[in-house]
């Protein structure tokens, strides 16, 4: 009988790299201000505005007009937010939400679905997109200015590894 080999290499362990929360309003002014207020209340972090890349006359959107806001969360803040976000979607993710790099995204229809968030009639109800990056230690080697190197194909995260990590770590069912 051959004993099972257990992976003990710490460089192969998966972790959450970052979580990006995006609220696209499609208009500047009060709706964008309300979205920024909601996002700041949910994440306890100041959101930044995103601008339109092109003019779309039928939707009254001009180029370089702020139409969305976003927040990037890392570390324990990212994991805490993910626990709340998975509760809002019923701890179920679709298998097609994962890309070939092991990252995944999902949407939340109403921000009041998140636990601990109360409805404010002055702000209204808005949805959001949640984008999650799953990485291994050493992934920043391709983003360095000095000593830059490529990530080997064996070190890249596959969708199956990411699905298994999310289901074990957060108790999410991948359908």
Percent of the chain residues topping a pLDDT of 70? 96
| Two tokens, residue 78 | 């990212």
Give the pLDDT confidence of 83-128 residue by residue, as tens digits: 999 999 999 999 999 999 999 999 999 999 899 888 888 988 999 9
At 147, is the pLDDT very low, low, confident or very high (cuts 50, 70, 90)?
A: confident
Q: What's the mean per-residue pLDDT of the chain?
A: 89
Percent of the chain residues topping a pLDDT of 90? 59
Domains and CATH numbers, the chain: 10-22+73-174 (3.30.1440.10)
Pairwise CA distance, residues 175 & 169, whole Å: 16
At 26, is the pLDDT very low, low, confident or very high (cuts 50, 70, 90)?
A: confident
| Two tokens, residue 96 | 């097609």
């Amino acid at each position: 009988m051959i004993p099972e080999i257990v992976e003990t290499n710490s460089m192969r362990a998966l972790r959450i790299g970052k979580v990006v929360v995006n609220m696209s309003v499609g208009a500047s002014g009060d709706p964008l201000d309300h979205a920024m207020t909601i996002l700041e209340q949910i994440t306890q972090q100041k959101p930044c505005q995103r601008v339109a890349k092109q003019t779309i006359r039928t939707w009254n959107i001009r180029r370089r007009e702020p139409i969305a806001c976003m927040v990037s969360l890392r570390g324990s803040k990212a994991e805490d937010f993910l626990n709340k976000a998975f509760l809002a979607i019923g701890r179920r993710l679709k298998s097609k939400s994962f890309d070939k790099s092991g990252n995944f995204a999902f949407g939340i229809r109403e921000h009041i679905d998140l636990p601990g968030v109360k409805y404010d009639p002055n702000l209204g109800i808005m949805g959001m997109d949640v984008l999650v990056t799953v990485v291994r230690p050493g992934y920043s080697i391709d983003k360095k200015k000095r000593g830059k190197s490529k990530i080997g194909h064996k070190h890249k995260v596959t969708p199956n590894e990411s699905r298994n990590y999310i289901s074990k770590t957060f108790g999410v069912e991948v359908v």
